[in-house]
Each structure stands twice: as C-alpha cells, then as structure tokens.
Structure 1
Amino acid sequence: MEFENWEPIYQDILKDMGFSREEDEHAASILSRMLDMARTSDVLVLEKLIAGKSVFVCGNAPGLGAGIDRTDTTGHVLIAADGATSSLIERHIVPDIIVTDLDGDMEKEILANRQGAVMVVHAHGDNIDKLEEYVSQLDNIVGSTQSVPLKNVYNFGGFSDGDRCVFLAKEFGASDITLLGFDLNDKNVTPVKKKKLMWAKKLIGDIL
C-alpha cells in the first residue's frame, strides 16, 4: 500500500486511540538502525512466499487451535499474528511468516524463527523496550511501521498484528486469504482492545 493512501487512515487511528505519531516514528527509526546491524530479510522473500499462493492468516482468538486441528494446511502459506505462533508451534507447525510487535510468547517465536519463519517485526511507540531486547536474537527480519517507511522498515498497511497479516498477504499478491482464529466481535475484552478489534474489522472488511 502506498503511504499516501494509508496516511489518512493512520491519522484517524491515532486520533481515535490517542496514540502518538512522533513516538511511532521514533520507534521506527530505532528499528531501522538496529536492522542495519541485524540479519535482515529482503521483502522479495515475502513476495516469493506469498505471490499467487493460498494464504491462511492465523489470529490469536481462542478458537485458533480448534480451527487449525480441523484444517489441512498442506500447500498453504501460514502467516501468524504474534501470539498465534504459540498454538502453531504446540502443534509442530512452523508458520512461514510471523507478524509481531514482540508481545507474544517470544520463546516460541524465536524457536519458529530458528526453524525458518520470516519475522515481520513491527515498531510502535509502546514497544521500544521489546525491540531492544529481542531484535538481536532474531534472523530473517523485515521491519514494519504504521508511519513513514524508512530503510529496512516498510509500511504494508494495517494497525494491529492480525490485520497487518491480511494487508501483507494482499500487498504481495496472495491468490486467496482465509482467516483462522479471528473473533472480531469479542466483547470480553478491555476497552482498548475493543477499539482495536473495531479497527481490525473495518480494515479487513475494506480489503477482503
């Protein structure tokens, strides 16, 4: 997605959520510098994995495990939203791509990364401490941001981990996208999470 198309949506999200663009951009600049020294992965790797393929996007709703258990994932590209990685690894399934802001079970995400998962690591104003802790432990990293793209840090669109997965699949030409482990109408969540789910529902609905 071109940033000029995403920026008005981003500004609406910032206003609604009360987040700081300056802090997001500060975090992105830190990640950009880190990725100069880390083992990064070219975005062409993402295109090669996704283009023309059938993609399962795995969210972290409670139904993910049951959804995976009754689904044949053979021949499909698996993109995991952060915490969804745990359910996959527990079933001895390594996702092809993990989209993460590093607040999931990082032990399992690091394990998946070492087994070949490409990490799309997202920088925002609230996770600088996690960037500093975990980026050096990861390989095959593509950086992402909600704001202006920088060197090694891209903006594919999307706000939370789940909808960023969908935007990523769309950006790189997936033939079809199936959601597993998504409950965008979950009412048993905090007010902040409820707003995030509302945005995810809107954003995913706009592109699928």
Structure 2
Amino acid sequence: MSRSNGAAVSGMTFSWTSDGVGSVSNDGSGDQKLMNGMIRVPSSGATPAKLNLTGIPFTNYHVIVYIGSSYDGYRASIDLNNEPATIRQFTTSSSAARGRWEEIRPTLKTPSPVGNYVRYTNRTGSALTINLNYIDGYDIGMHAIQLIDANLDSDTSGIPDWYEMQYGLQPASAATATADPDADGLTNSQEYTRGSNPKKL
C-alpha cells in the first residue's frame, strides 16, 4: 500500500479471497487502466470476494471502492465489515464505453443503481473487510480502493487536504482558507463547512 505521493504506508497489510482475477480491457488514460484488472466474486454466489485491510494508520478516513465487471449491466452488492448500514446494491458500469465516474449513493431510491464506485465517509478502526456479493451476471469484481486520511491538513488552513484536492485548491497554503475563487461571498473555509463546491456559484 502506498500514499498518493508513492511513499509506503508503514505497517499496513492487505489480503484477499476471491474466485480469481479478471480484466475489462480498459486501456488509455490512468483512470481507464485503474478500471482494468480486478479480483472477482464467484458467479455461483456461494461466497463473497473479500478484501481485508489491517494496520490502517488513520483515526478518521474515507473509503472509496472501485467496482465493475467484464460487461456492463450485471448486479452485485458491497458492504464493509458485514454492517447492514453499509450495504450498497449496484448495476455494473465500468467498461471503456462508459467513460465517466458514477457514484453509487446510499440515498438513491433505485434498487440497484448504475455505478462504478462507492464512497464510505468518516470510518474509524485499524482493520476493515470489504465484501463483494454476487446477485446476477458474471465476472464482477473490485478494481481498486482508496483510503483517504480525513484529518490530514498539511497547510494548517483548517481545511483538510482531501477537500482542497477534490476541488483543485492549493493544499500547501494556509491562505486557501480565506480565498473565494467563485466570488460568491463565501470563503473556502465557509464552503467546506457547508459541504459545497468552492468554485461553483
């Protein structure tokens, strides 16, 4: 496991159990290649594919899981630690033809919304198990994961790095907090508190 700058995360380990590996033939950009290989869930549905993480060094973190299949339109569900509140059913959408990120949100009323990634926020605990369960289709799997340190604030601006990077702000300057790039009268710090986009009116 490594950080976004390539540095290894000391003491963190991972293991998995799955039906094997698969590929989606996504070539081209880095984002497309991210969605190429995967560890897959058995099409029999007998057991889930599991990814186990231990030694997570962050006290508060976000988890992003990139999921898909060889062909779009298959269904599966994902959860963390077998916690009912984290279950997300979805319909796969990771082929090269899709060409965009589609989040599977917990508030969607569609039973199995189309999507290719799931975001879990404000997780705690040094160990985590991600379970992927088959519903129908074939060759469904996990492409990749990200763990985001929710508390990291490199420039002590009061705005965490993940928010600054998400919206293209400067994560190395404390002055970021008082800037107002969209000139709507709200500083970046206020936009962060509201949970809004600091570059969009």
TM-score, structure 1 as length reference: 0.26
The one of the two structures with greater contact order (alpha-carbon pairs below 8 A, sep at least 6) is 1
- Pair member with larger Rg: 2
TM-score, structure 2 as length reference: 0.26
Higher helix share: 1
